[in-house]
Amino acid sequence: MPVTKFLSLNDPRFNSLFTDFHHTAYRLETLQIYDVSYEQEAFDRFLVGESRGLFPGIESWIDMVRAGVGEGKRFHRVHVLVEPLSDYVRFECAWSYRHTVKAGEDVRVIPVGEHEWPEGLPRVDYWLFDSTRLLIMNYTPEGAFLSAELIEDPRRIVEANYWRDQAVGLSVPFLEYAAGYDDLMLGRRKCECSRPG
């Protein structure tokens, strides 16, 4: 089966996948750090204790989500969160997910302990559009983007649908999870979280 590969998150063909789908865009996130350049300044501000704020990368995503939801589309994701949370995950929860949920994205999480992993789920990041288009996201162990591959193999697409259903079944809504953890996510409570990377 042919594979279309994207080597840049700025590739127009890659970005069009997030506007051209008809019904659903689903993401499985499995890493505890994502090394995204547009987040670095905001991440540094978070680490020194600044209050939650918007930053360019998240603003464009929020605009896309809000527009899609307005057209009747659904954006949803599940992130497997290893506790104690890494600094990056705390940042993502406090400065990103709060805003994207408000914009209409259905964000869910599966909290697990160290050396644990949800049964039946791979350590693979991917997007699934309309349950029929599979985009595998490849990263280095440090969370740097390597490539994205648009997969056309029907067996792998069916497998990704199974993983989605499994992940959603094991997850809890982000806001429910976050309700008791705001202090931890914002760094106000002592924790064993370490700076990623």
Write the CB contacts of 115 (distance below 8 Å, at least 6 apart in sequence): none
State how many domains the chain has. 1
**pLDDT at residue 107 tops 60:** yes
- 178 within domain boundaries: yes
pLDDT, one tens digit per residue, over 73-91 is 999 999 999 999 999 999 9
- 191 within domain boundaries: no
What pTM value is reported for the model?
A: 0.90
**pLDDT at residue 131 tops 70:** yes
pLDDT, one tens digit per residue, over 142-168 is 999 999 999 999 999 999 999 999 999
Closest CA to 188 of 51, 69, 60, 15: 51
Tokens describing residue 190: 């002592």
pLDDT, one tens digit per residue, over 37-81 is 888 889 999 999 887 777 777 899 999 999 999 999 999 999 999
- 197 within domain boundaries: no
- 67 within domain boundaries: yes
**pLDDT at residue 179 tops 90:** no
For residues 26-32, average pLDDT: 98
For residues 21-40, average pLDDT: 94
Say which CATH number the domain at 156 has.
3.30.870.10
Q: CA–CA separation, 148 vs 124, rounded Å?
A: 12
Domain that holds residue 14: 3-185
- 70 within domain boundaries: yes
**pLDDT at residue 195 tops 50:** no
